[in-house]
Amino acid sequence: MNNTATTVADTHQKALEVNLDATSFGSFAEIGAGQEVARWFLRVGAASGTVAKTVSAYDKEVSDDLYGSGTRYVSRPRLETMLDCEWKSLVQQVGDARGKDTRLFAFADTIAARNFAGTNDCHGWIGVRFQDHPRAEASDILLHVNLRDNANLLQQEAVGILGVNLLHALLNERAAPGDLPARMFDNLANDRLEIDQIVMRGSAFAGCQMDELHTALARDGRAQAVTLDSDGVAVAANEFLYKKSVAIIPLASDPRDDLSPEAIAACLETLRREVVGNPEVKDVIGVRLMVVDSDAPLPAMGKGAAMMTRHRQLYRATAFARRYTQAPLRFAVPLPALIRIFDDVRYQHLEGRLLEGIARLFGSNVRVLAYPCPRELLPLLETELGRGWEVDGSRQWITADQLRPAPPLLHLYEYLLASGFLVAMPGN
């Protein structure tokens, strides 16, 4: 009860401070999760000095009449169309009367909150077009959010708090771009929602380093993961991974521990052959898995798509990918990374420890492809082998089926090899 009261009071105060600021005035357009953001400003008082209008278009025909047809209702293009329409209307209606002394803003969101059956992807797009000073050119901020509460009402509440935080940070605090993620999560636990993509445009965000901003989202747990396309630009995971077969390649801190480009290309080609003709698979992509935390420097990204996360356990990547695709999922790992998968210390937070972690990793249609190590790099394995592992044989290439962990782990390891969950890739 105390936590709820504190949240209401804090959000109440933020909304009131925005309302009492005579220099800001704008409109609200919300679709899909009530009018939870506008409601805060209407309920706290003094709204007439801030709220020009509110609109909510739940019916598809009404929405199409306002914003046009041809785009998905919960999408970035839809949000941008909403902002364009609401901003144009606002400037036409009040620009001359208020523009000289007022910073105008248009807030919009389009949300897919939890449906009655609880079967949908709960996410949305939230955006603000605003002036950082009167008569300024407009700047934009767009957010993609994933709603993690298990009830529609709680998701609506989270959207409302996030919206108030965002407007207060932009209009009252005038927070630096790098501080915005923390401000947006005021009074919100990280497990209630995620922000996995931010778009900033305009003079209010001049000099903002978007790569640093998205790295911080993953590092600070404000997103389970942030996905980047081949150009290094953040893309919402529900679009980037949807119905795609994914090869995940963990990045290593030691370059000698990385897979070669040839091995990665071969992995992708194998996966393409496997899914050919499958109508449920839209594409095959390779994604480098980058662990970002405060204790370690970032590994070199290189070229190609990536997934940033603060979690080192690979089973978490399985769970994340399975939110958006049921297509075949493959992990391509070198031998040192393979040995670390079986380190029980990594699973102490799980009730079932190592067994539970392995079960979560090897979900439906998940395989780990273990790539060999040339024998001259055997010293690279020495730290890992010191944990009770041995190498059987003396061939030029050390392969996964030559590794022998000490019993009883040996029995689990041999089972995974024999059943095809773990694939020992051959040497050259």
* Residue 287 and residue 325 in contact, taking contact as beta carbons nearer than 8 Å: no
Please state, in angstroms and rounded to a whole number, the distance separating the CA atoms of residues 94 and 421.
63
Peptide bond into 134 cis (omega under 30): no
Judged against a pLDDT cut of 50, whether residue 1 lies above it is answered with no
3-state secondary structure of 358: helix
Give the confidence band of 2 by pLDDT, cuts at 50, 70, 90: very low
Per-residue pLDDT reduced to its tens digit, 15-43: 999 999 999 999 999 998 778 999 999 99
Strands 24-31 and 51-55: parallel
Please state which of the ranges 51-60, 101-110, 309-318, 408-417 shows the lowest mean pLDDT: 51-60
Using CA atoms, how far apart are residues 88 and 91, in angstroms rounded to an integer? 5
Amino acid code (one letter) for 57: A
Backbone angle region of 7, left / alpha / beta, with phi > 0 → left and psi within -120 to 50 → alpha:
alpha
Q: Which pTM does this prediction carry? A: 0.91
Q: What count of other Cβ atoms lies within 10 Å of the Cβ of residue 272?
A: 14
> Considering only 223-237, 289-303, 330-344, which range has the smallest mean pLDDT?
289-303
Q: Print burial letters for 151-186: b (CB count within 10 Å at least 16), e (below 16).
A: ebebbbbbbbbbbbbbbbbbbeeebebeebbebbbb
Mean pLDDT value of segment 192-199: 97
Q: Among the listed ranges 154-163, 335-344, 378-387, which one has the minimum average pLDDT value?
A: 378-387
Beta-strand ranges (E) seen in 56-192 are: 103-112, 123-130, 139-147
- Report which DSSP code applies to 35: B
Look at residue 295 in the predicted model and tell me its pLDDT.
54
Per-residue pLDDT at 8: 47
The CB density around residue 187, as the number of other CB atoms within 10 Å, is 18
Looking up tokens 């992708």, which residue turns up? Answer: 268
Find where tokens 């356990």 sit.
Answer: 313
Q: What is the pLDDT of residues 111-146, one digit of tens each?
A: 999 998 888 999 999 999 999 999 999 999 999 999
| pLDDT higher than 80, residue 387 | no
Nearest in space to 362 (alpha carbons), one of 405, 401, 327, 330:
330
**Which pLDDT belongs to residue 388?**
80
Cβ-count burial 304-331 (b if 16+ within 10 Å, e if not):
bbbbbbbbebbbbbbebbbebbebbbbb
Q: pLDDT band for 57, please (50, 70, 90 cuts).
A: confident
Output the CA–CA distances (angstroms, integers) from residue 109 to 29, 124, 215, 372, in the order listed.
7, 7, 24, 49
User: Which 8-state DSSP code applies to residue 33?
Assistant: B
Confirm if 19 and 39 have CB atoms less than 8 A apart: no
Q: Look up residue 160 and give its two tokens.
A: 């409302």
pLDDT band at 5 (very low <50, low <70, confident <90, very high): very low
Amino acid identity for residue 332 in this structure = A
pLDDT of residue 150: 94
Is the confidence at residue 296, as pLDDT, over 60? no
In the prediction, which pLDDT does 302 show?
59
Mind listing the domains of the chain with CATH numbers?
A: 2-223 (3.90.950.20), 235-424 (no CATH)
| Residue 318 · residue 361 · CB < 8 Å | yes
Helices (H) and strands (E) in the chain, counts: 14, 18
Pairing outcome for strands 329-334 and 366-371: parallel
